[in-house]
Amino acid sequence: MCRTPAMNPAKEAIVTDMRVTQPGTGEEAHGSYRLDVDALRKQGVSDAQDRFGMADTADALDALDALTALDSDRSKLAGSYDRMRATTVIWVAVVYGLLTLTYWMIPQAYLGRFHLPWNSAWIIFALLAASMLLMCAAMTLTAHAQGIAVQWLPPAPVAANRRYRTILAVRFVLNFIPPVLALVVGYVTDAWWSALAVTAIGTAINGLAEYWELDATVRALRQRTVPAGHEEVRHGIG
List of residues contacting other proteins (CB under 8 A): 10, 13-14, 17-18, 39-40, 42-45, 47-48, 51-52, 54-55, 57, 59-60, 63-64, 66-67, 69-70, 73-74, 76-77, 80, 144, 146-149, 151, 155-157, 221, 226-229, 236-238
Strand residues in 72-145 grouped as ranges (E) = none
What's the CA gap between 222 and 209, in Å, rounded? 20
Q: Among residues 203 and 225, whose Cβ is nearest to other proteins?
A: 225
Smallest separation, CB 154 to other proteins (Å): 10
Helix 177-188 crosses helix 192-222 at what angle (to 10 degrees)? 180
Backbone angles phi, psi at 208, to 5 degrees: -65, -45
Q: Among residues 32 and 120, whose Cβ is nearest to other proteins?
A: 32
What's the CA gap between 64 and 79, in Å, rounded? 23
Smallest separation, CB 123 to other proteins (Å): 32
What's the CA gap between 220 and 235, in Å, rounded? 9
Measured CA to CA in angstroms, residue 71 lies from 66, 74, 161, 189, 238 at distances of 9, 5, 15, 54, 12
Q: Among residues 72 and 119, whose Cβ is nearest to other proteins?
A: 72
Smallest separation, CB 4 to other proteins (Å): 17
Smallest separation, CB 8 to other proteins (Å): 12
Q: Among residues 155 and 186, whose Cβ is nearest to other proteins?
A: 155
**Which residues, at least 6 apart from 64, have a Cβ–Cβ distance to it below 8 Å?**
8, 10, 11, 14, 226
Q: Among residues 28 and 47, whose Cβ is nearest to other proteins?
A: 47
Smallest separation, CB 153 to other proteins (Å): 9
Q: Among residues 72 and 166, whose Cβ is nearest to other proteins?
A: 72
Residue 112 CB-density burial (10 A; 0-12 exposed, 13-18 middle, 19+ buried): exposed
Smallest separation, CB 210 to other proteins (Å): 19
